[in-house]
């Protein structure tokens, strides 16, 4: 018996489904907004090279411009100052891009409170019901935030006090980075941190602790509601940008039916 043949056969006969977790990338894709004194990420843009015309009669193609952290994207350790001496996105070992994934669903709580913060006790309660987090795997923290992804304003959800989006407590971020067996965390929001994390100590703790521990982030995921709580396999394909701090990524999951 061939394991790869079993996989191909399972995909062909529907025993294994592919769930696309990637946001469509266009100039309308929501982006993070930092205070004006900081540099800003680039919206995705296409620049037409030719379109079956005198610039190229038989072909259509484009240049594109984008921030590394635009749309569904991968955070590498060197994205944050705590991981500045660690790997870039081109150095991520490929075996870490295909790993088991579990889903912790707190979308109900986030619908009531957009500033909801995941705590260590929430994860431990989940483990009591579902078993341990996967060794070397990914955790997706479901908030239901992908339902807002068609609107920059609703997705960022900012007022005069700043963005209001779910995330995790400082202690939870530290525990995931330093004590959990995970290689990374995926979220549906614009970044792995809460909207209010600029005022935490340390600021943006998920970035600070995850990147500083050589772990990874995946953001702006879609269709997480289609995944089982356990048993799926995550496949992430970031562009291998040399010295890059991250990259847009095609992310999907293999789900056994």
How many residues are listed for the chain in this entry? 257
Q: Could you tell me which residues come within 8 angstroms of residue 184 by beta carbon, excluding any fewer than 6 positions away?
A: 96, 138, 139, 210, 215, 216, 217, 218
Q: Is 79 a catalytic residue?
A: yes
pLDDT in tens, 169-221: 999 999 999 999 999 999 999 999 999 999 999 999 999 999 999 999 999 99
Query: Which pairing describes strands 246-256 and 232-238: parallel, antiparallel, or unpaired?
Result: antiparallel
DSSP per-residue letters across 64-81: EE--TTSSSEEE-GGGSG
- Residue 8's H or E segment, with its range, is helix 3-13
Question: Active site residue: 69, 73, 79, 207, which one?
Answer: 79
> What is the pTM assigned to this prediction?
0.94
pLDDT digits (tens, 9 = 90+) for 3-56: 999 999 999 999 999 999 999 999 999 999 888 899 999 999 999 999 999 999
Cα–Cα distance list, 235 to 19, 206, 229 (Å): 10, 22, 16
């Amino acid at each position: 018996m061939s394991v790869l043949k079993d996989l191909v056969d399972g995909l062909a006969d529907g025993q294994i489904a592919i769930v696309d977790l990637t946001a469509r990338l266009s100039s309308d894709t929501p982006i993070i907004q930092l205070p004006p004194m900081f540099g800003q990420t680039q919206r995705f843009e296409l620049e037409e090279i030719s379109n079956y015309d005198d610039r190229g009669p038989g072909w259509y193609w484009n240049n594109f411009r984008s921030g590394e952290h635009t749309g569904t994207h991968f955070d590498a350790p060197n994205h944050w100052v705590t991981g500045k001496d660690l790997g870039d996105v081109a150095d991520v070992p490929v075996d870490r891009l295909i790993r088991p994934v579990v889903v912790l669903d707190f979308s109900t709580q986030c619908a009531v409170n957009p500033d909801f913060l995941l705590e260590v006790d929430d994860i431990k309660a989940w483990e009591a019901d579902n078993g341990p987090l996967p060794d070397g795997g990914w955790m997706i923290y479901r908030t239901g935030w992908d339902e807002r992804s068609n609107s920059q304003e609703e997705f960022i959800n900012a007022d005069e006090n700043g963005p209001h989006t779910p995330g995790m407590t400082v202690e939870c971020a530290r525990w995931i980075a330093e004590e959990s067996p995970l290689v990374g965390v995926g979220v549906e929001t614009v970044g792995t941190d809460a909207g209010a994390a600029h005022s935490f100590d340390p600021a943006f703790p998920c970035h600070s602790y995850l990147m500083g521990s050589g772990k990874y982030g995946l953001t702006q995921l879609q269709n997480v509601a289609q995944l089982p709580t356990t048993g799926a396999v995550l496949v992430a394909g970031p562009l291998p940008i040399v010295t890059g701090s991250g990259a847009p990524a095609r992310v999907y999951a293999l789900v056994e039916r």
